[in-house]
Structure 1
Amino acid sequence: MVDQFLNSFIGMFVAMDIIGVLPMYLGMTQGLPPKPRRRLVNLSVIVAAVVAALFALIGKGIFKFLGIAIYDFKVGGGIVLLVMAILDLIKGRGAEEHSASTGVVPLGVPLITGPGLIATVMLQVGIYGNAIVLVSMFANFVFAWAALRKSALITRVIGVEGTDIISKIAALLMTAIAFAMIRTGIFEAIRTSHY
C-alpha cells in the first residue's frame, strides 16, 4: 500500500511539475502585495484540486458515457503528455504576464492541473483505486500550496537556473511516463481486441 501511494504520488508530482510552475507564478505575481498573492495561491490551488478530484471521481462515468476504454485514454493521454514534455524540453514553459484577477485561471488550470495531471489522475484511479489516488493528490496539492507560498525563498535558494534544470528533468521523466502509458495502452488494446 505504501508502494502504491509512493508510485501514485511521484507520478502526480512529475505530471504537475510544480517546481517548473514557480518561475511563471513569480512572473504573474510580480509587484503584487503579499496579501493578494496569498489569496491568489489559495484560490489557484483550490481550483486546481477540485478540477483534479472531479476527474478522479467521475472520469470513469464520462468514459462510459462516451464509450471510451481506459486503454484509449492511455494512448491519447500518453500522446498529449509526450507532446507537452517535448515542448517543455525544447522551449520551456513561457512565462506570461497576468493580473491578479486572471491569475487563477492560468495558474490553477492549466498550469497546476493541466492535461498531463488529469490524464495521470484518471489512469491512476484504474490502477490504485480512489482512496490512494485522492490521498496522494491531497499530499501533492499541499506540497504545491507550500511551494507557491514559499516560491520566492525556493527560487532564491536554488536560483532561476535551478528551477529550469528541475523543470527539464521533470520533462524527461514525463516523456518516460508518456511512453509507458502509450505502450501499455497499445498492448491492452491488442490483448482485448476481438478481431
Structure 2
Amino acid sequence: MFSLKEIASVTLILFAVIDIIGSIPIIIDLRKREGKIESEKATIVSGVLMVAFLFLGQSILKLFGLDFQSFAMAGAIIIFLIGLEMILGTTFFHSDPESKTGSIVPLAFPLIVGAGTMTTLLSLRAAYSLPNVLVGIVLNLVFVYIVLKASSWLERKLGQGGADVLRKVFGVILLAIAIKLFKTNL
C-alpha cells in the first residue's frame, strides 16, 4: 500500500509545482504589506483545498462534462507556462497587488494551491495510490508551513542568487512534467 518510491515521487512533483521556495519573494512582499503571514491558516486552507480537489476533482470535471485527459492536457499547458515563468523570469499569470486578504488569497489560493497544483493532484491520483498521494500532500504542507514561518530567515540565508537558482531548477523539472503529462494524455 505505502511505497517510499511513490511517496518520494509525489512529494517531489508537488514540491516542484507548488514552488514554495520560488515564491519566497512574493511571501516576503506579502508579509511586508500585511504586517505578518498567518502560516497556520494558510497551511490549513491549502491542505483543505488540495484534499478536497483530490477527492472531488473528478466529480467537478463530470459536472462540466470534461474528461480527465482534457483537464490534464489543459493542466499540462499551465504547468508548462509556470515552468517557463520560472526559467525565463517572466510573468504570464498576474495577481492583484492591491488585494488585502492576506494569508488566504493570494497565499493559500492561488499561490500554493493554484491550477497547476489542482491539475497535478488529479494526475497524481490517476498514476499513484491514494495513500501515497495523501502522504505527499502532508509532507509538502509541512514544508510549506516551515517556509512560511521562516520566510524572513530564508530571505537572509538564500539571497537573491540562491532563490533564482532553485527557481530555475524547479522550472526545468516542471517543463519535463508538463511534457510527460502532454504525451501521456495525447
Consecutive unaligned residues in structure 1, runs of 5 or more: 187-195
Deviation, 1:97, is 5.0
User: What is residue 180 of structure 1 aligned with on the other side?
Assistant: 180
Query: 1:22 is matched with which residue: 21, 24, 31?
Result: 24
- Higher alpha-carbon deviation: 40-49 or 53-62: 40-49
Q: What is the count of residue pairs matched by the alignment?
A: 182
2:7 is aligned with 1:9: no
Question: In structure 1, what residue type is equivalent to 2:81?
Answer: V
- For the 8 Å contact 1:28–1:96, the answer to whether it is kept is no
User: What is residue 86 of structure 1 aligned with on the other side?
Assistant: 84
Deviation, 1:128, is 1.2
Deviation, 1:98, is 5.6
Instruction: Tell me: CA distance 1:99–1:136, structure 2 relative to 1, closer, same or farther (3 Å).
Output: same
TM, length-normalised to structure 1: 0.84
- Higher alpha-carbon deviation: 85-94 or 144-153: 85-94
- For the 8 Å contact 1:5–1:133, the answer to whether it is kept is yes
Distance 2:95 2:66 in 1: 35
The Cα RMSD (Å) is: 2.1
Runs of 4+ residues deviating >6 angstroms = none
Give CA deviations for 1:28-66 in whole Å, capped at 9, x if unaligned.
112765xxx25x222222222211111101112222333
2:58 is aligned with 1:60: yes
Distance 1:87 1:32 in 2: 25
Distance 2:88 2:59 in 1: 36
- For the 8 Å contact 2:34–2:102, the answer to whether it is kept is no
Instruction: Tell me: CA distance 1:92–1:48, structure 2 relative to 1, closer, same or farther (3 Å).
Output: farther
Deviation, 1:163, is 0.9
Question: In structure 2, what residue type is equivalent to 1:73?
Answer: F
TM, length-normalised to structure 2: 0.88
Instruction: Tell me: CA distance 1:48–1:92, structure 2 relative to 1, closer, same or farther (3 Å).
Output: farther
Q: How does 1:78-157 map to 2 (within 5 A)?
A: 78-92=76-90, 101-157=101-157
Consecutive unaligned residues in structure 2, runs of 5 or more: none
Instruction: Tell me: CA distance 1:104–1:65, structure 2 relative to 1, closer, same or farther (3 Å).
Output: closer
Distance 1:66 1:98 in 2: 32
Question: In structure 1, what residue type is equivalent to 2:4?
Answer: V
- For the 8 Å contact 1:77–1:119, the answer to whether it is kept is yes
